[in-house]
């Protein structure tokens, strides 16, 4: 009797466990079907957004497509890669447009957004350049009277460190001709023809070279003279060994962004003169 009772108990427990397993498998199937349906709906939603050109929203929707349950997962990953690159390029191009328009803060914001889609060392370096330009945005703005005074100071001989004194004059244009063949520039770039005058007030000869001259724009970038174009000027500034009390003069041509002013620097390691250049 006891043996029969034990057999009955085991039978009941086994039946219960089998039933529980069956329910679990059924529940798992239901859950998987529901997840797959939801994932498929996300894919269809993402495709609709993609077709409408709503790229940011489409990318977010594609990212919600489940890997285990969607038949569209492979295509989803391809779309994510394509959208990521498109959005990266979109914001880089936006940044370029803002920067050219002088909208530095908007350019910085656009590049920072671009970098959220893809890391890029050149773009990160460009971002640092944009931030530097924003920091130097307050280029000197002159009233007519201030401009005339600044031009007068530019044209006056000024000494610095060493024995050389320098005076400057200039003219800028968007066209320069070589053998009557015009070369033009566009956007914010100009040809700046700089007339350099130097006096050696020392007691020894001084080697004067055009390579010692740089112009700095507001973003603190240095610009050297254009050696090839400069040699076509009527009186080019050339290397010369300047004796005591000797004078030298000549022109140099720069290809440079047009700004209200530049920092001129002559630096040969011994003599250093800094002046402000006002283009006019």
d(CA 208, CA 170): 19
For 180, 190, 225, 232, the CA distances from 177, given in Å and listed in that order, are 5, 13, 16, 9
User: Quick check: 133 pLDDT over 90?
Assistant: no
Give the pairing type, strands 247-257 and 189-200: antiparallel
Mean pLDDT rounded to a whole number for the chain: 85
Top-level CATH class of 144-277? mainly beta
d(CA 231, CA 152) in angstroms, rounded, equals 27
Nearest CA among 197, 201, 207, 205 for reference residue 245: 201
Which position has the token pair 């890029």? 120
Structure-token pair, residue 164: 């050389």
* Claim: this prediction has a pTM higher than 0.75: no
Q: Is pLDDT above 80 for 185?
A: yes
Q: Which residue has the tokens 């038949």?
A: 71
What percentage of the chain exceeds 70 in pLDDT? Answer: 81
Select, from the ranges 30-34, 97-101, 159-163, the one with the highest average predicted confidence (pLDDT).
159-163
Report helix, strand or coil for 130. helix
Domain-wise residue ranges, the chain: 2-135, 144-277
pLDDT value for 4: 47
């Amino acid at each position: 009797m006891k043996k029969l009772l034990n057999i009955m108990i085991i039978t009941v427990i086994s039946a219960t466990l089998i039933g529980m397993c069956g329910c679990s498998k059924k529940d798992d199937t239901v859950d998987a079907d529901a997840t797959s349906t939801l994932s498929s709906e996300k894919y269809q939603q993402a495709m609709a957004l993609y077709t409408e050109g709503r790229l940011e929203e489409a990318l977010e929707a594609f990212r919600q497509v489940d890997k285990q349950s969607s038949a569209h997962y492979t295509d989803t990953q391809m779309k994510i890669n394509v959208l990521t690159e498109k959005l990266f390029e979109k914001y880089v191009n936006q940044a370029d447009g803002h920067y050219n328009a002088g909208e530095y803060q908007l350019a910085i914001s656009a590049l920072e957004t671009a970098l959220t889609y893809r890391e890029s060392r050149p773009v990160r370096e460009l971002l640092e350049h944009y931030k530097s330009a924003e920091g130097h945005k307050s280029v000197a703005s002159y009233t007519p009277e201030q401009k005339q005074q600044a031009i007068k100071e530019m044209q006056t001989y000024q000494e610095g460190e060493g024995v050389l004194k320098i005076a400057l004059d200039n003219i800028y244009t968007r066209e320069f001709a070589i053998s009557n063949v015009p070369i033009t520039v566009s956007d914010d770039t100009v040809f700046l023809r700089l007339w350099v005058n130097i006096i050696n007030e020392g007691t020894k000869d001084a080697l004067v070279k055009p390579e010692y001259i740089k112009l700095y724009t507001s973003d603190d970038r240095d610009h050297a003279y254009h050696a090839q174009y400069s040699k076509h000027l009527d009186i080019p500034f050339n290397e010369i060994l300047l004796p005591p009390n000797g004078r030298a003069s000549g022109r140099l041509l720069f290809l440079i962004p047009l700004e209200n002013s530049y920092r001129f620097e002559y630096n040969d390691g011994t003599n250093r003169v800094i002046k402000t250049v006002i283009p006019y």
